[in-house]
Structure 1
Amino acid sequence: MKKTNRKKGSVTILIMLFFVTLVSMIMVFVSVSKDYAVKSTARELGLLWTNSILAEYDINLQERYNIFGFYGLEGNVEKKINYYAGESYSNKRYVTYKGCRAELYDYSLANVEMSGKQIVAVGKLAAAGKLLKPKKDIKPAAGGEAGIIRNKAILNGLPSKGSGKSITMAGISDSLKKTETIRGVVKKGTDEYFENQYIFKYFKDRSNSRGLGKTFFQNEVEYIICGKTADADNEASIRRKIIALREAMNLLFVIKDPKANAETLAAAELITPGPAALATQKAIQAAWALAESYNDYQLLITGKRVPVVKDEKSWAIDLESIVGSKPKKDEDPEFNTSASYVDPGNIHGEDYEDYLGIMAYSMDEKVKLLRILDLIQINMKYCYYGGFKIIDYNGGVKVTLNVNRKSYEIEKEYQPE
């Protein structure tokens, strides 16, 4: 009898142990399932909430420049996320929400790594012909005092303030001497190439307003290259750069072309016979190349084409017209854009925008992107809202949620389409 009771007791203990184990397993399963469910919902809801933040992008900024950015500080974002979380997690006894932390510093559009991604992405769409024409007019914000006063105050606090030198013309001429065409230097498929596509879609230049309506500067591409705070100064700076570039290429032709070389030597020997003729020849060659360069600039700004590498047919200025005369310097106040010029009738070659393009392509990339942001800020201030600052707008957000004593990091950026 006692033996039978002992057996029953053993079976009871085994059943209880099994039951306890089963219950423990069920509790572990429930706990793991709950954690997994909380983890999944935290991430999915976090993405939904951050998408709601990104949905508040500035419509004028997007329609005019195809740049997505929302206005706000970390505190603004945290307040909104906390509100969304309160609505989503209310009456959820298994969820304990302890707030969030938002990070915007790396996502500010003033950060060229952030804005540059969007500019390159839009440039790719432009290159593929998938962009609609930019919106011409920006509707002023109510009480924004946009466009009331066209003064230098609009130029305060620009993103490019303190940035360094942007371009070296000697480097461009060296590259052109190797390839002989602008298209040979500008490599398709690079970020610099797509940045150029963006620039010539959304900004004016001296030769083409692109139907972009009211802007603070008329020479916007020239501003990107030169960074001067007046249209006239940017025009003058571009003129100097084009003339310097053309002078280097024209001098190369004068030196290498047998006929031009013989003509300059003959003229030099008439002026200074003997050993001094070679030195005089070099001076004549330089003067001839410079005179041709002035003419090249006049051709470009009147819509004509100028080949990177000249030949006898594309050369315009004859030697007789400059021998015995002193070429004008670019700073000479008498030099003006309405001066007469000699048109050799070039069918082939590059136009004014091509020359701007090679300069923009060859710029320091950071300076170029910062000056693009300058123009966006300037025009948004001028046309939309007087207090607009690019640094106040963000191209993405990172939020860290504290749910059930665990941290969930959600990161989201705009993807231009």
Structure 2
Amino acid sequence: MLMQQYILTYMSCYTDTNSNHALNYEVEYIIGGRASDKDNLKIVIAEIMALRTAANMAYLSGSASKQAQALALATIIGGITLQPEVIEGVEKGILAAWAFCESVLDLRALLDGDKIPLIKSDTSWTSSLYGMTSMLTGQVKAKSSNEGIGYKSYLGLLLFTKSMKNISYRSMDVQEATVRMTSGHESFRMDNAICELSADVSYKYHGTFLCFVNLLDGADNEYTIKNKAKYSYYGR
């Protein structure tokens, strides 16, 4: 949990790039593990697309009005066969295509920095059944919602599906690449690094027994202890 939060806070992504970092899409790299930003972004988009399509299909399955529209169109397309099984199959195909279309609009909104509801409602649904073609070929995006979640939140969901081993190693790759951008550290390797921690501790306490017998006038029986510790290890 803390590791994922650190990544989302300090590493760059499509909607939050940093020119001082080696990669533009660091979080996407940790998720995808490919060599290029473009390939990692494709992987992330495909995974978010799958999540959104499932969520949108769940909404359509519970919307009587949307199902009625799909059934009416399916009846026109498959009605010539006069077979209910064919009409039902066409209806399911129409609903799947509709969910896919809405998911494309969702992705456009997320990549543009907007937020969308995790589960849609009649008011937050954007696409129309008979306008899917124009919406897919145009620049239409899903309705934004302040109560929804954004692109970074979806990255967080995807991080939880990855193994901690891959997340850790890829995070170190990102840190190595960024350190190598600084002068004098072009050959930096984390597995060859020496790590060190230095801590100064100071604390006070009052005597338990001397407080009952004041041996010196004005003594407050307060003691101060200071300690300094340093720990280091070689990366390999």
TM-score per shorter chain, which class? Answer: 0.7 to 0.9
- Residue 390 in 1 paired to residue 198 in 2? no
**8 A Cα contact 2:108 2:142, kept in partner:** no
Q: Which residue is equivalent to 1:319?
A: 129
Mapped to 2, the partners of 1:378 and 1:343 lie a distance apart of: 36
The correspondence of residues 2-401 of structure 1 with structure 2, limited to 5 A, is: 193-209=1-17, 212-273=18-79, 274=82, 275=84, 276-322=86-132, 340-384=139-183, 385-395=185-195
Q: Which has more radius of gyration?
A: 1
TM-score (norm 2): 0.76
Cα distance in 2 between the residues matched to 1:284 and 1:374 = 44
Uncovered stretches (5+) of structure 1, i.e. residues with no partner: 1-192, 329-334, 398-410
CA apart distance, 1:342: 3.6
* Whole-angstrom distance in 1 between the partners of 2:142 and 2:189: 46
1:92-121 per-position Cα deviation (integer Å, ceiling 9, x unaligned)? xxxxxxxxxxxxxxxxxxxxxxxxxxxxxx
Please report how far the alpha carbon of residue 265 of structure 1 lies from its aligned counterpart in structure 2 after TM superposition.
1.2
Map of 1:160 onto structure 2 = none
1:394 to partner: Cα distance: 4.4
Highest RCO, 1 vs 2 (Cα 8 Å, sep ≥ 6): 1
C-alpha contact (below 8 Å) 1:313/1:344 kept by paired residues: no
Alpha-carbon distance between aligned partners in 2 of 1:261 and 1:221, rounded to the nearest angstrom: 38
Give the fraction of aligned pairs with identical amino acids, expressed as a percent.
Answer: 27
Deviation at 1:214, TM superposition (A): 1.9
Cα RMSD (Å) of the superposition? 2.4
Give the TM-score taking structure 1 as reference length.
0.44
**Does the CA-based 8 Å contact 1:254-1:260 persist in structure 2?**
yes
More strand by share: 2
Change (3 A) 1:278 1:388: same
Distance (whole Å) between structure 1 residues aligned to residue 134 and residue 128 of structure 2:
15
* Number of residue pairs the alignment of both structures matches: 196
Uncovered stretches (5+) of structure 2, i.e. residues with no partner:
198-229
Aligned amino acid, residue 113 of structure 2: G
Which secondary structure does the structure 2 equivalent of 1:217 belong to?
Answer: coil
